[in-house]
Structure 1
C-alpha cells in the first residue's frame, strides 16, 4: 500500500460553490461544467463543485508518488481525473483566497501530467447556503501519471445528481 509523501488537513474558505486546486493566478475558463457532478480539470487547475455557496469546508490533501488504493467507504462521491500542471506548483485554494501555508504543493515533480482523485461527503447538508463551520468534507489525492480517462468510483449524493443533470442540458 502506498504512503503519502506529503499530507495536510484543515478548514478552507471558499465561495461560489468552488474549491480549487490551482497554480497561482490561474482561474477557471468558462463555461465550467461538471459532467461527473464533482470535479473538472483544465490546464493548471482543477475545479471542485461544493454544495454550500460560501463558507468553510474541511479539506484533507495527500500527495503520492504512485497511485493510492481506491476507497469509497464513508464517501458520497469519488472521482479521478487527469490533471495537467503547466507551471508545476498547484495548491488547494478558493476563488478569492490563497492557499494556506500548511497545505503542500500537490504537483511536486513540476510541470507535467498528474492524476487527481477527489472524495466528497456532506454536499447535501446545506445546498446553496453559507456554512460558518464545515458541513462538507473533501479528500484530494494527487500523483504523477500519464494522461488517462476519467474514473468514476462512486456517485451517490443528490447535489452531484443535480450537477450531472445540469451538464447534460448544456
Structure 2
C-alpha cells in the first residue's frame, strides 16, 4: 500500500536539495561526499541529493511505500540509485537548502527506523552547473522500510559531488 505520493517544484541552491529528519541539519563532510555515488550522499539523519543545476528549480515526486518497488521502469530514467537512510525521529522530508521547505508529505509514515530510498532522475546533465528558472530536472524518490544495506547503482552517468 502506498502511503503518500505527491510532487512539487523544489528550489535548488549549491546544486543540492536535502532529505532531512524533522528538520535536523544535513551537512555532509568532504569525506562523506567522496564516498557517495555522486547522486545521493546519506548521513546520520537524512541525505543530500546532487542536482545538475547549481541554482534554480527541479520537480520532485515522492512515494512512501511499504515494500521495495519493482525495477521495471529503470530504463525510463537517466540515473537510478538505491541507498539506506536513517530516520531516528521518523519524519524524513524533502527540504530546500535555502528558502521555503516544499509541502511534500513525509517519506517515513512508518515512523523512526532505517529505510531504503531509490532516487531516480531525468535531465541532470541537461544544464550542468547552470542557473535557470526553467524546470529541467525531474526526481522520483521512493522510500520503504528496510534494514541498512550497501548502496546499489542501477544507472549512473556522473558523480556530481566531484564535478
Q: Same fold (TM over 0.5)?
A: yes
Distance 1:161 1:89, change over 3 A: closer
The structure 1 segments of at least 4 consecutive aligned residues displaced by more than 6 Å after TM superposition are none
Aligned to 2:116: 115
For 1:144 and 1:74, the matched residues in 2 are separated by: 24
Q: Is the 8 A contact 2:26 2:48 kept in 1?
A: no
TM-score (normalised: structure 2)? 0.90
- Cα displacement string for residues 73-109 of structure 1 (whole angstroms, at most 9, x for unaligned residues): 22111000011002111101111134322x1100112
- Cα displacement string for residues 83-140 of structure 1 (whole angstroms, at most 9, x for unaligned residues): 1002111101111134322x11001122110000000111111111112021011000
Which of 9, 26, 38 matches 1:11? 9
Counterparts in 2 of 1:3-82, with a 5 A limit? 3-23=1-21, 24-31=23-30, 32-33=32-33, 35-70=36-71, 71-82=73-84
Q: Is the 8 A contact 1:113 1:146 kept in 2?
A: yes
Instruction: Give the superposed CA RMSD.
Output: 1.7
For 1:88 and 1:60, the matched residues in 2 are separated by: 19
Deviation, structure 1 residue 150: 1.0
Aligned length: 159
Deviation, structure 1 residue 29: 3.2
Q: Is the 8 A contact 2:55 2:132 kept in 1?
A: yes
Q: Is the 8 A contact 2:39 2:160 kept in 1?
A: no
